[in-house]
Amino acid sequence: MKKKRVLFLSIILLSILFGLIGRLMQVQLVQTESFSKHKINLIESSVEQRTQQIVIDEGRGAFLDRAGNPLTFDEENVVVLFPFLNKIEWPSATVASILGMDEADIKRDLLGAKEPVVLKGSVDLTQSQMDRVNALEVQGVFAVKKKVKKSVVPAAQLIGVTGENTTLFHERYPDRVKGANQPVGVSGLQGIFDEWLIAEEQAKLVYHVDATGGPLFGADVKYVASANPFYPLNVKTTIDSRAQEALEEVADTYEMKKGGLLLLDIASSEIVASVSRPKMKQGDPFGEGATDYMRKALIPGSVFKTVIAAASLEEGMVDETRMFDCDQNIRGGEAQKPHGSINIRDSLAASCNRTFADLANELTEKDPDLIEEYADKLGLTGNVAWKGDVFHYEDFSQLKLEQSRIFASETAKGDRNEIAMTGIGQNEVRVTPIGMANMMATIARGGKAYEVSAVSTVEYQNGADMVNFPKQEGGEGISPFTAMKMQQYLRGVVNSPLGTAPYLQEAAYEVAGKTGTAQTGSYRGEKIKANELYNKWFAGYFPFHDPKYALVAVNMDVLVDEGGIYPIFKDSVDALYRLDQE
C-alpha cells in the first residue's frame, strides 16, 4: 500500500515536472514570437524589459501629396537624452552652449525621466548644431531626425486614422508574428492601403541597461531599423497641399459646421482637395469629426436636374423649341416662383421644378431605368471610384463611397408623384459630393466619364513606383453634342437673366454649374417651416472656356436664410485663381 502511494506521488510529481518542461519549451522554443491567444512576442517583450529605447520612426509608410511632400508627418531635428545621464557626469554645459539653451532647463527636462526624452528646446536644430552635438560622442546624447505625426492632417477624413489594435492586426495579418503592437489603418485611405503601409520594423535608438537603469559596461546605443532600403512603402495621393489648405481656410472663414468642399482635376478626375466638416479632432479621431461627408450619400436637391436635362437631350425628348409652363408647380398648382412659359435652357437656369418633374415622368414612361442609367453614364452614381485588379486584390477600390440611389424601390418608378420628386432631386435620391463633382467633370470634358482616384502611385522608399493607378474610364458618358448643350445651360445658371447664381459672375474664373437647395426633413427645434433644415449646394466647373477644376460645395443642415453657398463657392474659385497665378 505504501509502495502504491509512493508510485502515485512519483507519477504526479513527474507529470508536473514534464508539464513545466513542456511549458518552458513552449515559451522558449515553440511560441517565442506568438505566445498565448493574445499572440505576445516574448522576444520583443524581453528586449523591452532590459533596454531603454526611443522610437525615431514608427516605420509605417507615409501619405504624400502630389508633389511628393508628406501629408501625415513632419521631420524634426531634435536632441534625445537617455535617463542614465542623471547618474553620470556628462558635458551638459557644452551641450547647452551648442543649443543656445540654459543648462538648468536641460537638467530639468531630464530629471526623473524613466524613458529617453526629446529635449524640449531642441526642436528645429540646424544641421551644424546636430553635427556639433554628435561630435561630442557622449553616450546618451544624440542629435537625430525624428518623424512626428502632424497635429493637423490635410484632408483628414479622406486620409483616415490609425490605431493600435492587436486583435485587428492578427485578423488582417495572421502570418505576421512581429509588430502586432504597431498602428493599423482603421478608416479612410489608411485602412484601404493598410497592407502596403504596415511597418516592417520601427527605427529606434536602443540602449541596454542593468537592473538599476544604468548603462551596461561597454554597451553602446544602437540604431535599429529595417534593413530593407525599399521599405516602408509610401502612398502618393493626388492631393495638392496648397489647394487643400486654401479650401480649408474658406471652410473655416465661413464657419461651416457640416458639409464641405470637393475639388477634382477635370482632365483626370483626380481628387485635388477634400474638405469635410466638422473637423476631425486630434484627441477624438472617432468622434463627430470622423465622418467624411464628401463620401456620404446626401440629398442633392435641384443639382440633380442636371441628370434629367442631360438624359432628355440625349434621348431626343426635348429641344430648345419646346416650352414648359413654369407658372405651375409639380402638382399643377401655382409655382412659388413663377417664370412663365420657358424652354429647357431657361428652365435649368431658373431651376423650374415643373419642367424636370414632367421630363422625369416622360423618361420613366419610356424606360423605368433611364434616369438611373444616365446618372451612371454621367459618373454621378455606379462605379464612381477607381476600381481594378491589383496584385492579389480583385476589384480593389481606392475609395469607400456610401451607396448612392435614385429610387428606393422598383414600385416607386410607377408612382408619378414620386417620380416628379425624384426629378427635382428630392424624395429618395441620395448621391455623394464626389459623384456630383465627377458628373460636372464629365460634362466639362465633353461627355467622357472617368473613375475618381485619390492615389496615383504606391512608391518604394527610393521613389520608384511599385503600383500605378492609371486613369480609367467610368460610365458610358454622353455624346459630345449633349455635353456641349449642357455646358451652355450650366453657364446660363450663372450669367443668364433667369439664372439662380448671378453672384458667381464676380468670381475670378468664369463658372458654370447648378444650384441646389434640398429639404432634409429635419428641423432645428420646433417642427415649423421657419425651423426646417436644408442642404445647400453648388456644383460646377471652371474656367468655363478651358475647364480645369470641378468643384462641389455643400452646406448641410442650415436654415433657409443662413449658410449661403455662393460666397463659399466664389471664395474657393478666387483662392484657386490666386494659386494658379503664382
Question: How much is the pLDDT for 393?
Answer: 82
- Here the cell at position 436 is 456630383
The reply to whether 356 and 489 lie within a common domain is: yes
Low-confidence ranges of the chain (pLDDT < 50): 27, 31, 35, 38, 40-49
The reply to whether 58 and 98 lie within a common domain is: no
Q: Cα–Cα distance between 420 and 400 in angstroms, integer?
A: 30
Question: How much is the pLDDT for 571?
Answer: 98
The reply to whether 351 and 491 lie within a common domain is: yes
Q: Which of 270, 42, 293 is nearest to 188 (CA)?
A: 293
14 found inside a domain: no
pTM for this one? Answer: 0.86
Q: Mind listing the pLDDT tens digit for each residue in 334-359?
A: 888 899 999 999 999 999 999 999 99
458 found inside a domain: yes
Q: Which of 337, 348, 303 is nearest to 488 (CA)?
A: 348
Angle at CA of residue 304, ends 303 and 307, nearest 5°: 120
Number of domains in the chain: 3
285 found inside a domain: yes
The reply to whether 295 and 443 lie within a common domain is: yes
In angstroms, the Cα distances linking 59 to 7, 55, 144, 204 are: 57, 9, 16, 9
The reply to whether 434 and 493 lie within a common domain is: yes
The reply to whether 497 and 380 lie within a common domain is: yes
Q: Mind listing the pLDDT tens digit for each residue in 223-273?
A: 666 667 778 899 999 999 999 999 999 999 999 999 999 999 999 999 999
User: Residue 109 is part of which domain span?
Assistant: 73-148
Residues with catalytic function: 302
The reply to whether 325 and 264 lie within a common domain is: yes
29 found inside a domain: no
Q: What is the CATH number of the domain that holds 140?
A: 3.90.1310.10
Q: Cα–Cα distance between 559 and 454 in angstroms, integer?
A: 33
Beta-bridge partners for 207: 52
Sign of CA dihedral 444, 449, 453, 459: negative
Other residues' Cβ atoms within 10 Å of the Cβ of residue 368: 15
The reply to whether 254 and 205 lie within a common domain is: no
Domain end position, chosen among 133, 148, 163: 148
Q: What is the CATH number of the domain that holds 383?
A: 3.40.710.10
The reply to whether 332 and 450 lie within a common domain is: yes
Question: How much is the pLDDT for 42?
Answer: 43
The reply to whether 77 and 67 lie within a common domain is: no
Q: Cα–Cα distance between 99 and 559 in angstroms, integer?
A: 56
- Here the cell at position 545 is 472656356
Question: How much is the pLDDT for 40?
Answer: 46
Q: Cα–Cα distance between 507 and 378 in angstroms, integer?
A: 26
The reply to whether 184 and 111 lie within a common domain is: no
Residue that is written with C-alpha cell 463627430 in the block: 288
The reply to whether 231 and 294 lie within a common domain is: no
23 found inside a domain: no
Q: Which of 263, 214, 121 is nearest to 554 (CA)?
A: 263
Question: How much is the pLDDT for 68?
Answer: 94
94 found inside a domain: yes
Torsion angle, alpha carbons of 153, 158, 163, 168, to 10: -160
41 found inside a domain: no
Q: Cα–Cα distance between 111 and 90 in angstroms, integer?
A: 14
Q: Cα–Cα distance between 14 and 50 in angstroms, integer?
A: 34
